[in-house]
Each structure stands twice: as structure tokens, then as C-alpha cells.
Amino acid sequence: MKTLFVIATIFISLIFFLPSQAASFNPITYTGVNLSGAEYNNTNPNAKVNFDYTYPNQAEITYYVSKGANVFRLPIAWERIQPTLNGPLNPNELALLQSTVAMIKYSGATVIIDIHNYGNFKGQAIGSTSVPATAFVNLWSRLSAVYASDKQVAFGLMNEPASQNITNWRPIIDSTIAAIRANNANNLILIPGAGWDGAHDFTSANAAGLIGIKDPANNFMIEMHEYMDSNFSGTGSTCMAPTDVVNNLMAATAWLRTNHYKGFIGEFGSSVDSNCLNGMQSMLTYFASNDDVWGGWTYWAGGPWWGTYFQSIEPANGVDKPQMGVVKLFLQK
């Protein structure tokens, strides 16, 4: 009887003390982190690497891979990778990018090249007289030629194109996809909605304009972002209730399912507030439970220059941040 009592006690302990780990048993396809830094000071034409901006190093990549990350979203600046519209890619910046991509690929992970420009080039909107849509298409035609059909490189077309609306953004998307596929580049493409690209208002702001996307390679996901503070900006350190966090995702999930698309959450984050951490766990559990339509996510953000930024998941003096305690439960293994 004593033996049976011990076994029963262990079983009950597993039930009560390890429930959160169950979520890590069946992760969605791409789970990882934004490695921020290369997009800093993008409007400074004299910016110097490792002084004004920085690319991730091997130690950072190794750390996140050791936790289970299998994808890194790498924000970069359009103005540095292509200083002149329709001109060649900057060979020095391209070398930095290629070196980073090579490190990430060597780790076994996928890298998302993210043009982190909010729909602008040097402060002027894509689609304006100063920055015609053809210039943005040219950028991706050149970049996609470098990484054509590399299965470990995905293309994040534009971070939060806030200077556009979905009506003028959709034809730019169509032309960009066509240019990428014309290079025989079958890479995964992440297609953002216009504006701030939130999941919570996706169906009202962007859904209608993204129906019927034509991709000859049929290899794309719809990128959205979702923060949990009261105005969804990611600037507040307190969050809405976990049930509200999940409720705000349901309409986008239903739309993806109805239209046979997959979604990717390119940015989300949390402070160390317990309500925020609980909300993030609820969010990631929801994605894992709806992995038929949610194909991946990347936390915002890692990177060595964040300092005391409240959402930073970069370890401090070798110690994991509280946010990692939640995120690692859901990272791909």
C-alpha cells in the first residue's frame, strides 16, 4: 500500500505542478525571436556598424537556439541595404547581412529578412512621388535574387506599413510577389496588412483587401502583430485580461480558416507584470491550439542594445528574463 501511495502522490504532483509544460508538446511550425539592432538609426546616412547599429552575434543566436527557437526575424533598414532607390544593394551592408544569415542558418534556424521601415524610405511613403511603388518592388527583386529558393530564408516584405492603407498597399504587394517569383525564388513570404497591422482589428482594417492573393509558389503567410496593452501599441507595461487577449485573436483566426490562409505573428511582447505574462501564455496556448491556421510567431524583442527596455527577452548577466520562462514552453524543439 505504501508503494501505491507513493506512485499516486507522484502522479498527482505531475498533474498539479507541470500543466504549463503541456503546451510545449505540440508547438507550431515557426517559433522564435526578433533579433533587433540592425534597423537602428536608419535615417543617419553616416551610421557606423557597432556604434549606431548592430547585427546579432553568434552567442545570441546560440542562446536562443538552446532555448528552442527555430526562427529569427531580423529587422534591417532599407536605406542601408539599398541607399539609392532602384540602385544596387550596398555591398558592405549586404556582407553584414549575409554573415548574419549564414550564422543563423548554421544553427539550423530560419531567418526572416524584415524591412523595418513602416512603409517609408528616408521618411517618404512608398507609393508617393518621391518613393514610387516600383522602387519597393526593385528592392525585393534584388534581395530575392540573392536568396532565391533558400528554404532557411523567408522574406518579411515590410514592417507595419503605417503610411499606407490597404487599398493602395494591395497592388504593391501583388507586384512585389510577382517580382520575387520571377527570380525563381520560392521562399516563404510574410505579407503584412497596411497600417499598424494588428491582429485585433485585422478583419475591419485589412481582411477584405487581402482576399485572393495570387502567389505562383503558394508559399506565404499573412503577417500580423499583437500587443496586449490597452491601446495595442506595445508601449504599456500593463495588459488587458488574458481572456480579452485571446478574444481579440478570434476574428482573425476565423478569417484565416475561412480563406485557407496561414497567419504569422511577427511581433508580440510582455512586461514582467504577472497579468501580462499570463496573457502571453494564454496567447501562445491559443496559437498552439489553432496551429492549422497560425504558422509561427517571433517575440519582440531580443538584441544586445535594449538595456532596460521592459519587453526585452535578452538575458541579463547570464540570467533568463521572466518572459523567457513563458516563451520557452512554446518554442519549437
Residue 38's DSSP bridge partners are: none
Q: Tell me, what's the pLDDT at 63? A: 97
Grid coordinates given for 151: 528554404
Give the side-chain half-sphere CA count within 13 A for 94.
13
Helix axes 58-67, 91-106, angle to 10 degrees: 30
Q: Are 176 and 191 in contact (CB under 8 A)?
A: no
Q: Tell me, what's the pLDDT at 332? A: 81
Q: Are 257 and 306 in contact (CB under 8 A)?
A: no
C-alpha to C-alpha distance for 147 and 155, rounded to whole angstroms: 9
Q: Per-10-residue mean pLDDT for the chain, 333 residues long?
A: 37 34 62 98 96 97 97 98 98 98 98 98 98 98 97 98 97 98 98 98 98 97 98 97 98 98 98 98 97 98 95 96 97 80
Q: Are 193 and 224 in contact (CB under 8 A)?
A: yes
Q: Count the residues in the chain.
A: 333
C-alpha to C-alpha distance for 227 and 36, rounded to whole angstroms: 17
Burial of residue 67, with CB atoms counted within 10 A of its CB: 0-12 exposed, 13-18 middle, 19 or more buried = middle
What is the residue-wise DSSP string for 288-313? HHTTTTEEEEEEEEE-TT-TT-TT--
Closest CA to 331 of 9, 3, 52, 23: 23
C-alpha to C-alpha distance for 96 and 182, rounded to whole angstroms: 26
Q: Are 252 and 294 in contact (CB under 8 A)?
A: no
* Residue from 60, 79, 267, 314 carrying the catalytic annotation: 267
* Residue from 39, 60, 93, 160 carrying the catalytic annotation: 160
Q: Is 267 a catalytic residue?
A: yes
Residues 305-324, buried b or exposed e (16+ Cβ, 10 A)?
eeeeebbbbbeeeeeebbbb
Q: How many CB atoms lie within 10 A of CB 13?
A: 10
C-alpha to C-alpha distance for 178 and 193, rounded to whole angstroms: 17
C-alpha to C-alpha distance for 25 and 87, rounded to whole angstroms: 47
Q: Tell me, what's the pLDDT at 26? A: 59
Give the side-chain half-sphere CA count within 13 A for 270.
27
List own/partner pairs for 83-86 with CB under 8 A and 24 or more apart. Answer: 83/45, 85/121, 85/131, 85/135, 85/138, 86/134, 86/135, 86/138
Q: Tell me, what's the pLDDT at 12? A: 34
Domains and their CATH numbers in the chain: 24-327 (3.20.20.80)
